[in-house]
Structure 1
Amino acid sequence: MGPDRQIGPGWRVVGFPKSHTDLPLTRYEAGTADGVPAVQVLTDASYGMLVHDQLPGMPGRLQWRWRLDQPLAGGRRTPDLSSKEGDDAALKVCVMFDHAIDRIPFWERTVLRVARAVSAEALPAATLCYVWDSAGPVSREGSNPYTRRVRYIVLQGRDAPLTRWITENRDVAADFARLFADELPDAARTSPEKLPKVRTVLIGADSDNTGGRSAGWVADVQWQR
């Protein structure tokens, strides 16, 4: 049974284009942890995102619960979000935006258009990721080392408790306005209604760069209106 049918309608797993890699997909399975119905996220030198296309709208407060049972480890490299060689995360929840392509630098615009041409997905011009980084410190913010089209905030770090549910509640509009301030008009930085609309929300985890393994859970991803 495919992951989308196991987990529920609207969810689907997306990996790299088949023409570019035979990389294994991160596994997403419906289950229960401490009585909480959730999605189990399992990586093993793998990559993949669990995308929900039915969670669009204006950015507001996003809430979810997550827990990490097995930190990302056991690979050929140590996880490091600032380097291409170590750019893996044990868990992440990301929000993709309909960001205007003319707001991004010319070279990045060109790269994005090429990426869209070779991918079956309508790749967004801006993605904000909330990360559980099992190897790094909490509260770190930055850009993905492969592309500035993805920027992240580390909510849980190496000292976070394991096998315990943690609830997150984020003001997505404020976070996006701060991390993408260099590409927004002045009015949008203080007016959420002027920000790009949300295209979709996804759950993710990957260990393709480090070759490691991790195991965690995500539950109750929902907008707080």
Structure 2
Amino acid sequence: MHLPSSRRAQKRTAQPAWIAACVALLLLPLPLPAQDENPGIAFSTSEPGASLPAGWKNLPVVRGKPITQYTLVQDDHTTVLQADANRSASALMHEGNIDLARTPVVAWRWKADGPIAGADNRVASKEDAPARLMFMFDGDKSKLSMFDRAKMGLAKQLSGEDLPYATLMYVWSTNAAPGTVIANPRTNRVQMIVVSGQPGDAGRWQSLRRNIVQDYERVFHEPPGRITGYGLLTDTDNTATTTRAWYGDVQFLPGP
């Protein structure tokens, strides 16, 4: 079909926006340092105001967007990580070499100031969360659909980096009951499990515990591969709002 010149121009300008939507929330754009022998996040051993622990990087989720500020503060006589997002999106990430056969369980604490106005993890233009714990996995990409592989190829052309085979997130969300699985609206290679956000959760520390292996098998329908990275994410770039959250120590433990 022959398109008028104005319509051809619209089509050309629309394509980059579609590509950007496909790769958002997936990019881990920088190489990460080696992990120590005892994986975990121990903010409580640091002093308030100190630099972030060695091996942790504040990485933009999408290049060009403002980054979330992560700082060590004192809360109830304990050092925790405070995340301040102002129309921003970046993740505090670490390279992963967690032995899931030995320590498949993750236990952590977090506190969110409250829900993000207008946020909805099921809608691409509203996909923000005050608190997330995320894991990225390696895997056999040849098993993916042609559509998924095409999106990953486009993302690599734009970013210069390979995308994770799969990403599992635990999220603070008011849009669904705890235990609900939400696929990222841009790609089903990112799956979110709601663990917080019920009435009474705002402004309160919560202690949470999940079996990563069982959750991965539940949402991706296969055993997990090697974890390539893990970290924390507080973002408000889609809703153009502000939020604050706090993260305590994270531990990897034996099952069940």
Counterpart in 2 of 1:24? 66
For residue 130 of structure 2, give the secondary structure of its aligned residue in structure 1.
strand
Unmatched segments (≥5 aa) in structure 1? 189-194
Name the stretch that deviates more: 51-60 or 30-39.
Answer: 51-60
Residues 124 and 7 of structure 1: is their aligned pair in 2 closer, same or farther, counting only changes over 3 Å? same
Aligned residues: 203
CA contact (8 A) 2:109 2:248 kept: yes
CA contact (8 A) 2:112 2:204 kept: yes
Q: Deviations over 1:5-64 (max 9, x none)?
A: 72110100111454xxx3211111111222222111111111111101155332610111
Q: Partner letter of residue 216 of structure 1?
A: A
RMSD: 1.9
Counterpart in 2 of 1:50? 92
Q: Partner letter of residue 104 of structure 1?
A: L
Counterpart in 2 of 1:14? 59
1:196 matches 2:196: no
1:104 matches 2:144: yes
Which has the larger strand fraction? Answer: 1
CA positional deviation for 1:166: 0.8
1:72 matches 2:116: yes
What is the TM-score normalised by the length of structure 1?
Answer: 0.83
Counterpart in 1 of 2:127? 87
1:170 matches 2:210: yes
Residues 179 and 80 of structure 1: is their aligned pair in 2 closer, same or farther, counting only changes over 3 Å? same
Q: Deviations over 1:77-98 (max 9, x none)?
A: x111111111111100011111
CA contact (8 A) 1:58 1:196 kept: no
Residues 165 and 120 of structure 1: is their aligned pair in 2 closer, same or farther, counting only changes over 3 Å? farther
CA–CA distance in structure 1, aligned partners of residues 61 and 127 of structure 2: 15
For residue 48 of structure 1, give the secondary structure of its aligned residue in structure 2.
strand
The structure number with the bigger radius of gyration is 2
CA positional deviation for 1:109: 1.0
Unmatched segments (≥5 aa) in structure 2? 1-49
CA contact (8 A) 2:234 2:245 kept: no
CA contact (8 A) 2:152 2:162 kept: no
Q: Deviations over 1:189-220 (max 9, x none)?
A: xxxxxx31111111001111111111111111
Residues 28 and 121 of structure 1: is their aligned pair in 2 closer, same or farther, counting only changes over 3 Å? farther
CA contact (8 A) 2:171 2:192 kept: yes
Counterpart in 1 of 2:185? 145
Counterpart in 1 of 2:248? 219
Identical aligned pairs, as a percentage?
28
CA contact (8 A) 2:97 2:226 kept: no
Counterpart in 2 of 1:129? 169
